[in-house]
Amino acid sequence: MTKRETDPIEEAERDAAMARDVIAGLHEQRREIEQAGPARQSEMAALSYRALAEGDKAASARLQTLHREAAEDGSRLAAVDMAIAEGERRLAHAEQRINAAAERQRIDQVLAHAERLEQLTGKIDGMVAELVAVVGAVTATHREIVRLGAENPTTLTLHSFLARAFNSGTLGSPLNSEFIAGPARVTFAGLGQNWRRLYQVWGQRQLAVIGGAEPAEAVELEQEAAE
């Protein structure tokens, strides 16, 4: 929006406020005209007998003035009523503009959020693809470990632990609303650290077989992995 442009809601609200002020002023004018009526009617009633029955010229002149004022006030009331009706029409139009502008803003906001939603969901696809690729690399690495003779834990166990880590990491999110949180969260990094310790235990035991390490070292590592 440039400096010369005006916010449509602000402009319509100003028009509505102006219409309300005008209508309030017109109603005040109407009350002032109506307030003069009863006193005039009382005076006309008192003068009518003197002017018509007694031929009082002064009363007759005053009565004519009052009749003229009453006619003028009637005309003024009609004009004020028409002005009030026009003011109310303009107020209704301004309020319609306010509602329409607010609705357009709401629609624009929804569309802006929808665009961001599309961008974010696209990122999720990329992240999922990357996750799947990394899990594939983890599985391939584990299979290489098994091929080299460290057969436990098995690939099936690895996949089970990966699923546990995923479920634990997504607890409380829309991606995971079916699982109940356990006493402690399981992470992928924690899984890797624990399994590395397990393979260190395996390595120490293998070294022990060939005399390269003391069995006590393997037991210590195994206890660390269990923790």
Domains in the chain: boundaries: 8-121, 149-226
Do 76 and 34 contact (CB within 8 A), yes or no? no
Q: How far is CA 72 from CA 32, 35, 66, 84, in A?
A: 13, 14, 10, 18
pLDDT of residue 152: 85
Q: What pLDDT was estimated at residue 157?
A: 92
**pLDDT at residue 11, as a whole number:** 92
How many other CB atoms are found less than 10 A from the CB of residue 9?
Answer: 16
Q: CA 41 to CA 48: how far, in whole Å?
A: 10
pLDDT of residue 2: 47
CATH number of 8-121: 1.10.287
Closest to 201 measured CA to CA, from 167, 227, 180: 227
Output the tens digit of pLDDT for each of the chain's 227 residues.
Answer: 444 567 888 999 999 999 999 999 999 999 999 998 888 889 999 899 888 888 889 999 999 999 999 999 999 999 999 999 999 999 999 999 999 999 999 999 999 999 999 999 899 889 999 999 999 999 999 999 999 999 888 999 999 999 988 988 888 788 876 655 555 677 888 889 888 888 888 888 888 888 755 555 555 555 555 55
Q: How far is CA 215 from CA 197, 218, 219, in A?
A: 15, 5, 6
| Cα–Cα dist 156/101, whole Å | 60
**Entry pTM:** 0.57
Q: Are the C-beta atoms of 193 and 169 separated by less than 8 Å?
A: no
